Amino acid sequence: MLFNSPEFLIFLVLAFVLYWFVFNRHLKAQNALIVALSYLFYGWWDWRFLGLLFASSFVDYNVGLGLARIVNPSRRKLLLVASLVANLGLLGFFKYYNFFVTEFIDAFSHLGVHLDVNTLNIILPVGISFYTFQSISYAIDVYRRNIEPTRDLVAFLAYVSFFPQLVAGPIERATNLLPQFTSKRHFDYALATDGMRQVLWGFFKKIVIADNCASYVNDIFGNTADYNGGTLFLGAVLFAFQIYGDFSGYSDIAIGTARLFGFSLMQNFAYPYFSRDVAEFWRRWHISLSTWFRDYVYIPLGGSKGGTWMKIRNTFVIFLLSGFWHGANLTFIAWGFLHALYFIPLQLTGKNRVNINIVAHGNQWVSPMDVLRILFTFLLVTFGWIFFRAKSITHAFEYILGIFTKAPLEALAIFPISLLGLIGFMLAVEWVHRDKQHGLEITWLQDKKVLRWCMYLGIMLLIFLFGNFGKTEFIYFAF
């Protein structure tokens, strides 16, 4: 079920009414309703994979109980390994089996050996990378004794399958989300209205920005040889805004929807295109995944405490894993490798944590030097997005070569000025609210009801006039 579909809007209204007006008397009944709604939401795509979702949850629920009973360190570690093998085994089979088989066959073919190994017609379960990592984090946190294991199976099933963030995050931690399922919830009008504002902003970024950019991006990347250098560069820039509008738009809708039901999810995007270096970008882009790899991979490997070579090794591991997490294609590995190359000079010179504060904090105007830093970082990130979007490594290099070797003529001829204006509007709104949780957290208009509603209605009008209502899937559904 897509957020940007009439079915979801009907589903959301019915879920809200049932949750607050029918099942509101008992916490367990509310949690059971969430599980039922979440499984319906997920099964709407393909009911056959509901078993995988339940299996991942059931394994780690029992692992948590086992870790609570067992004192022996070796047996506790063995139990954790069983969780990792079960979860990563399912993820590896569905997401990477054909990739490894194909690469294996290709490697031998280069040596003149032709292997007759069949690949399988495996359908990738939507969201498996997200809910698998969320379930694994619970087992690791219980193993580390960061959280007490829950004995409430329904609450745990709700934690893993919570429908707003089930298929594309944020990847929540049990330390934050699970206690919210075990505590009585009361309707909070302020939280719900702020959630609706965030949902509205998410729809604007998805339907108006991302889906309109997609029309041009698909054509330019699909017909690379037909376009000049300027148009190819424009296509890369548009993809940068497409993937941001698409993914951060999903996160806004997910977080806002969760607030309607009394839940607070972590911020997943903090205006990453206002970053002044790549290190800051990664603190602001897909925060739930970045912090997951930091806490469960990077720090256990030694983090930044070791010598130079250990720092370099750990950085490459984390970025290559991040690339591989996104999909079974060498383009994602190249994307991760490139970002490691961006990051390491900052790390080795101790400049990776220079830009911690929000750019131009407390001011609406930014210094010329920060403008240059932001533009340079955006260009680096956009260059990396070419590998992310390309069909293959060969296609990526052909695309890049075309940017630098073909005459940059008439790039704007295919580009409607209205889309440029809409992107500018989005950036302006988010610049004003860059110290807030989302683009429509307009606390500065708190006492100006008429102006607030003019802004809401104006954004609704923009969605109505310029929205692409083709029910385009979210990019990260593929991961």
- Which position has the higher pLDDT, 114 or 163? 163
The confidence score (pLDDT) of residue 280 equals 97
| Count of structural domains within the chain | 2
pTM metric for this prediction: 0.92
Q: Which long-range contacts (CB under 8 A, 24 or more apart) does 91-94 make?
A: 91/128, 91/129, 91/132, 93/122, 94/52, 94/122, 94/123, 94/124, 94/125, 94/128
- Kindly state whether residue 154 falls inside one of the protein's structural domains: yes
Binned at pLDDT 50, 70 and 90, residue 110 comes out as low
- Kindly state whether residue 336 falls inside one of the protein's structural domains: no
120 and 251: one domain? no
413 and 445: one domain? yes
Domain boundary among 168, 185, 202: 185
- Kindly state whether residue 199 falls inside one of the protein's structural domains: yes
**CA 321, CA 316: separation in Å to the nearest integer?**
8
- Inter-CA distances, 393 with 330, 331, 397, Å: 7, 5, 6
Mean pLDDT of 305-311: 86
Q: Which of 97-111, 264-278, 326-340 has the highest mean pLDDT?
A: 264-278
- Kindly state whether residue 332 falls inside one of the protein's structural domains: no
138 and 64: one domain? yes
Q: pLDDT digits over 10-29, tens only?
A: 999 999 999 999 998 899 99
Catalytic one of 286, 326, 339, 438: 326
**CA 56, CA 38: separation in Å to the nearest integer?**
15
- Kindly state whether residue 289 falls inside one of the protein's structural domains: no
In sign, the C-alpha dihedral spanning 392, 394, 398, 404 is positive
Domain boundary among 135, 152, 185: 185
The confidence score (pLDDT) of residue 308 equals 87
253 and 179: one domain? no
Q: Is the pLDDT of residue 248 over 70?
A: yes
The confidence score (pLDDT) of residue 306 equals 78
- Kindly state whether residue 51 falls inside one of the protein's structural domains: yes
Q: pLDDT digits over 344-373, tens only?
A: 999 999 899 899 999 988 777 889 999 999
The confidence score (pLDDT) of residue 161 equals 95
- Which position has the higher pLDDT, 408 or 404? 404
- Kindly state whether residue 286 falls inside one of the protein's structural domains: no
326: annotated active-site residue: yes
- Kindly state whether residue 427 falls inside one of the protein's structural domains: yes
Q: Is the pLDDT of residue 121 over 90?
A: no
Based on C-alpha coordinates, what's the Rg of the chain? 23
Peptide bond into 170 cis (omega under 30): yes
Query: 3-state DSSP call for residue 447?
Result: coil
Domain boundary among 158, 185, 212: 185
Q: pLDDT digits over 181-224, tens only?
A: 999 999 999 999 999 999 999 999 999 999 999 999 999 999 99
Q: Which domain holds residue 156?
A: 6-185
11 and 131: one domain? yes
53 and 179: one domain? yes
**CA 226, CA 231: separation in Å to the nearest integer?**
10
Tell me how crowded residue 417 is: count the other CB atoms within 10 A of its CB. 8
